[in-house]
Amino acid sequence: MISLELHAENLRALLSPITSLLDDETVSEILINGPKHVFAERDGLLARTGCDFGSERELLVALRAVAQYAGLELDERAPILEARLPDGSRIEAVVAPLASEGPVVAIRKNRCAQLSMDELVQLGSLQPDGKNVLAALVSERRNVLIAGGTGSGKTSLLSTLAATVPDAERIVVIEDAPEIALLHPHVVYLRARPADPQGHHEIGIRSLFRASLRLRPDRIVIGEIRGPEALDLVQAMTSGHGGCLSTIHATTPLDALARLETLALMAGLQLPLWALRTQVASAVHAIVQVERDAHGRRIVHEIAHVLPSEHGYELRDLYRTTADDRERDRSAR
């Protein structure tokens, strides 16, 4: 433990050109395009900062220290790094020969603060009608997928919804990296383990999900569906595990269902598409679509009810924002 803490301190020293940004709670993302070009995102808007790593070598030394901290390698043979900083922030880096103009880095800050639905309404990210719909979906133990693009606020909303689960229920949270921290009296956290540098000993989301079904969960919360675990989730939802919550990358509710089908097919089970689509229609009750508006604000744009149909499923709006809603909220602020 002591050596790990010392390593974290050394790493912080190597990242000293951007520690002010890492410590700034108003900064949500840090983007580095070579040693001299550092950008920060605040309130959804990017702006260049005065931070400077001095040279490409200094930036590379810092990135290799991050890789070492995570038990990974970063060099010409392994030029892509996906890891976590000691504070939980997610870092993605690409170096030569793939990045010809110098190392390219994106750091997504780990936001520990958990907003309530009332706070989302106050911020203009959610309308009161939408809040009522979300509250009903959780209390009625509906299975909900939160869909959106990168940085649209999917995980933050997932944490907000999970926090409204009644205290008497047991929640099992499954993630590939620690992003969800719930103020709830009965939460179990399961986290995936990446492969070691030799490519061995990986334990993925799918294995953890199967284990979670035997841990007597009242609710299962999955940080993100991104692989064949989709099939296990769909089958669990249709076999009585209600109130599941997760996120998925998609730009519309219909795209979210299509992506869920595609990921489920990755499991390799020879299941006809019509049969899978029937299961998906029965398993998922609602898709919550989140997005950024033109001003960088993360909003809940749409909540769609998933209904079975002769073609598999159809979608009906439970809630949708309008341009007037967004303009009124922006003016009110």
221-269 per-position pLDDT tens digit: 999 999 999 999 999 998 888 899 999 999 999 999 999 999 999 988 8
The Cα–Cα gap between 323 and 23 comes to 35
pLDDT digits (tens, 9 = 90+) for 205-222: 999 999 999 999 999 999
- The pLDDT of residue 325 is 60
* Percentage above 70 pLDDT, the chain: 93
Q: With a cut of 70, say whether residue 5 has pLDDT above it.
A: no
**What mean pLDDT do residues 143-168 have?**
93
pLDDT digits (tens, 9 = 90+) for 107-154: 988 765 678 999 999 988 999 999 999 999 999 999 999 999 988 889
Domains, the chain, with CATH or none:
2-108 (3.30.450.90), 117-332 (3.40.50.300)
- The pLDDT of residue 270 is 82
- The pLDDT of residue 324 is 58
- Give the angle subtended at the CA of 286 by the CAs of 181 and 326, to the nearest 5°: 80
> Encoding tokens for residue 95?
């170096």
Residue 34: Cβ within 10 Å count: 16
- The pLDDT of residue 1 is 40
Residues in the chain: 333
**What mean pLDDT do residues 41-45 have?**
84
Of 283, 282, 317, 284, which is closest to residue 300 (Cα–Cα)? 317
Residue 94 CA, distance from chain mean position: 21
pLDDT band at 323 (very low <50, low <70, confident <90, very high): low
**What mean pLDDT do residues 69-95 have?**
89
> Encoding tokens for residue 207?
């294995």
Q: With a cut of 60, say whether residue 332 has pLDDT above it.
A: no
Residue-averaged pLDDT of the chain: 89
pLDDT band at 2 (very low <50, low <70, confident <90, very high): very low
- The pLDDT of residue 328 is 53
pLDDT band at 293 (very low <50, low <70, confident <90, very high): confident
- The pLDDT of residue 106 is 96
Q: With a cut of 80, say whether residue 57 has pLDDT above it.
A: yes
**What mean pLDDT do residues 69-77 have?**
88
Q: With a cut of 50, say whether residue 174 has pLDDT above it.
A: yes
Residue 53 CA, distance from chain mean position: 29
Contacts of 80 (CB under 8 A, 6+ apart): 92, 93, 94, 98
Side-by-side strand order, sheet with 245-249: 187-191, 171-175, 219-222, 245-249, 144-148, 286-292, 298-309, 312-320
Please report the beta strands in 200-328, taking only residues with DSSP state E, as ranges in sequence order: 219-222, 245-249, 286-292, 298-309, 312-320
Contacts of 186 (CB under 8 A, 6+ apart): 167, 169, 170, 171
